[in-house]
Amino acid sequence: MSLFTITEDKSNKDIPAGMSVLEARRHYLAMSDGFVSKLSKPVVQKHGDRYIFRGDASQSSLKGYGAEQLVAECKEDVLVYCAPRVGMAMDAIATLAKMYDKRCVFFCPASGEPSKHQKALLAYGADLRFIKIAAMPTLNSYAKRWAEQHGAKYLPFGLAKTPLVTAGIVRLGTCIAEQIDEEPTEIWMSVSTGTAIRALQIAWPEALCKGIVVARNMQDGEIGHAKLWSASQPFLKDVPLNKRPPFPSTPNYDAKCWEDFENFASKGSIFINVGTDDKVNKFYDLVKDIPLDSQRAWHDMRDLERGL
């Protein structure tokens, strides 16, 4: 059973109007011209006649490589982001904030118990705030308003609609192509907001894009020319052990695309392993005994009303 609807529109909203994909690649690479990364080179592993981007074995997850320049050049001292119960973006933001001497405020949906992904952020010294909401867009609007009121930098959910993040992923794609001495023939990955798969299409214009939608419906402009199919399992449900990759991954995200990659990917294809829960679990173990009140009643806005 398909859980999510997927647009048939093949436009890529991250390609500026009037530009070809090659012009867009030059445009984004020019945005990164002169930027010197503090991150080590990404780890890319050979897998038979194919490749794997090992976000789990690299210094940061894929989103970390994408967001580094944004964080490094941000004039604000405080970063604000909405942290869902699972996801690699908030860990990437916290990692980069620590590297570039920034503070983080994460707004989270209120719950009886914070998730491991959320609570692990305490290990970075992050400020977690909770609000009872019906849907994430509401929390994002609260976080954006709070950031504007307190001179902080609001980062949109999934780091979407952020040209410097797209530029960072395009730069990562160029780095990977240099390491393997070719551009991948196919891109295989799990997809949520589509930020990464759109940027990688710009980085590797000739590559076919294939993947599984794991979290939400995909709208016009969000998938580019990718051929995507819907997950049959809810987002928070992990893929069975026998269908997971033979390296650390995220069981409810990246791992859901592994079986199809193994069975159907062509020579020269690359599997994008965005990150791994192993790192999250390690940091969670450091802070799991710290008391944290994450429950809120409706209209309890104490964390939104509190300043820095």
pLDDT tens sequence across 123-169: 999 999 999 999 999 999 999 999 999 999 999 988 888 999 999 99
State the amino acid at position 114 in one-letter form: P
pLDDT at 196: 95
Q: Is residue 1's pLDDT more than 80? A: no
Three-class DSSP labels, 111-157: CCCCCHHHHHHHHHCCEEEEECCCCHHHHHHHHHHHHHHCCCEECCH
State the amino acid at position 74 in one-letter form: C
**Which tens digit of pLDDT belongs to each residue from 31-49?**
999 999 999 999 999 999 9
Q: Residue 7's Cα: distance from chain center in Å?
A: 21
Which structure tokens are listed for 52?
């794997």
Q: Which of the 8 DSSP states describes residue 6?
A: B
Q: Is residue 53's pLDDT more than 90? A: yes
Q: Which of the 8 DSSP states describes residue 285?
A: H
C-alpha gyration radius of the chain: 19
Question: How are beta strands 270-273 and 186-191 bridged, if at all?
Answer: parallel
- Token pair 């991150």 in the structure block, residue: 39
Model's pTM, two decimal places? 0.92
Q: Phi and psi of 252, rounded to 5°?
A: -100, 5
How many alpha carbons lie under 13 Å from residue 60 in its C-beta half-sphere?
26
Share above pLDDT 90 across residues of the chain, in percent, rounded to a whole number:
91
85, 109 in Cβ contact below 8 A? yes
**Which tens digit of pLDDT belongs to each residue from 181-212?**
999 999 999 999 999 999 999 999 999 999 99
Which structure tokens are listed for 53?
């981007």
Q: How many CB atoms lie within 10 A of CB 157?
A: 20
**Which tens digit of pLDDT belongs to each residue from 90-133?**
999 999 999 999 999 999 999 999 999 999 999 999 999 999 99
